[in-house]
Chain A
């Protein structure tokens, strides 16, 4: 298969995405997306709605199979793996979901304990201590016995982060970590992300459209537009970028190369009946 004749990724490279292509029906969602993320760094993938950034993320966690292209995580190609092999790879990473995705039938503590119980043979007392440690890391040790429905959205996200790092993963994926949070909680989560990277040498990939938070955390930024990478570089390089597309996205200007409407022509046809 294709994976065999391409060279293995460099050892310092934790995430290596090569020529990813994906279509859904007639719509091309990803068109030749390639990038790498080095170990122990934070990479931010940004882009507007429909730019394909969530689709990239779903390929990285093995939820989608690409039409062509390869995804290497920690040196292992994952797009050709069957379900059982994929389960092994998934133990190496954690993910923070947009809505938290905590299980409502379990308490906060049981949610964090779930991956530990499932993948280790540790005695119950040890698991309890680990859960307390992880919850303390996100400042929520007191919430252990509450249900996810009894805590706020920001707290749910922090619990979800505690769950994502429960098994000390090598990679953590973040899907819109600041969506629906106030600026202070966003700041707290950003700081947690930076701490995890610095102290535990975790590699992070963050999908977001929150520019303020993106510039605060990123070692590297990638901007997607209509399924293609239009810009990549350090935060400074992106900030200085002359590309009007990038500038419009950073400043949030309503006028620019990124149109609000899908098509000007259809609009005229609709209104004027031409």
Chain B
């Protein structure tokens, strides 16, 4: 009982700390550049992180989205065949990809590719006293390190989600037309009739929330690292697991609210 209570207390204190980190990050990302004499970060570093987290993630996102799009067509068509409604597959895939699978898969991929890198990189800096060095130089570590990563990912994750949506639809289109001999015109027609702007938009809103989760969890785990290289490894693993769990929980809440 006591152990459970102390665990709950620890969880709440982490929750409070990560919320505080989020507030400080928002300040350095959106308020400080106008209010402080010097922005906390170099504007070029945002571009560099946009390239690293966004542009360089495009190939893997496209690959996964194309595969998932075509798998989805195969699985859905298998069920629809029984009712002789295979041509509807285009619509069902369009809705699943734009509302759910595009944003979710992209976020999970980016957690592994970018969130883990954030934790490993900042965690190593913490262990090497580089973060303390920044503080001693009166350079705010959140402004200098977290804010540019946050801005970059919040901008890039929705873009990657659109890329994933398009790639998923193309994967589905290729499989649907080649395997099930649905005519291209009919496939495109069904897709366009079922695909709603509202669905795409809800996916994009979710992806912004996911980006917040990935950066905040990734950076928070790094900033509290203790215990040398082993601690960094442990934090990186923890960061990926925590972020994925939180992403799926947030996705559930969002879906329940937005349906």
Contact = CB atoms under 8 A, between A and B. Distances in A.
Given A95-B133, A101-B133, A114 B128 contact: no
A261 B169 CA distance: 68
A142 B132 CA distance: 27
A95 B133 CA distance: 8
A93 B135 CA distance: 12
B3 interface: no
Interface stretch (B85-93, B136-144, B243-251): B136-144
B128 A115 contact: no
B82 interface: no
A95 B136 contact: yes
Interface string A78-102: 0000000001101101110111011
A90 B140 CA distance: 12
A206 interface: no
A87 B144 CA distance: 14
B47 interface: no
Interface residues of B, number: 15
A114 B129 contact: no
B67 interface: no
A101 B129 contact: yes
A101 B135 contact: no
Interface in B36-57: 37-38
Contacts of B130: 101-104
A118 interface: yes
Contact of B38 (A61, A97, A99, A118): A118
B125 interface: yes
Given A103-B130, A118-B38, A87 B125 contact: no
A91 B135 CA distance: 10
B149 to A, nearest CB: 12
30 contacts: A63-B132, A63-B135, A63-B136, A87-B140, A90-B135, A90-B136, A90-B137, A90-B138, A91-B138, A93-B136, A94-B136, A94-B137, A95-B133, A95-B136, A97-B132, A99-B128, A101-B128, A101-B130, A101-B133, A103-B133, A103-B134, A104-B125, A114-B137, A114-B139, A118-B38, A118-B137, A118-B138, A118-B139, A119-B38, A163-B137
Interface of A: 61, 63, 87-88, 90-91, 93-95, 97-99, 101-104, 114-115, 117-119, 121, 163
Interface of B: 37-38, 125, 128-130, 132-140
Given A95-B136, A115-B137, 18 more contacts: A63-B132, A90-B135, A90-B138, A93-B136, A94-B136, A95-B133, A97-B129, A97-B133, A98-B129, A99-B129, A101-B128, A101-B129, A101-B133, A102-B130, A103-B130, A103-B134, A117-B38, A118-B38
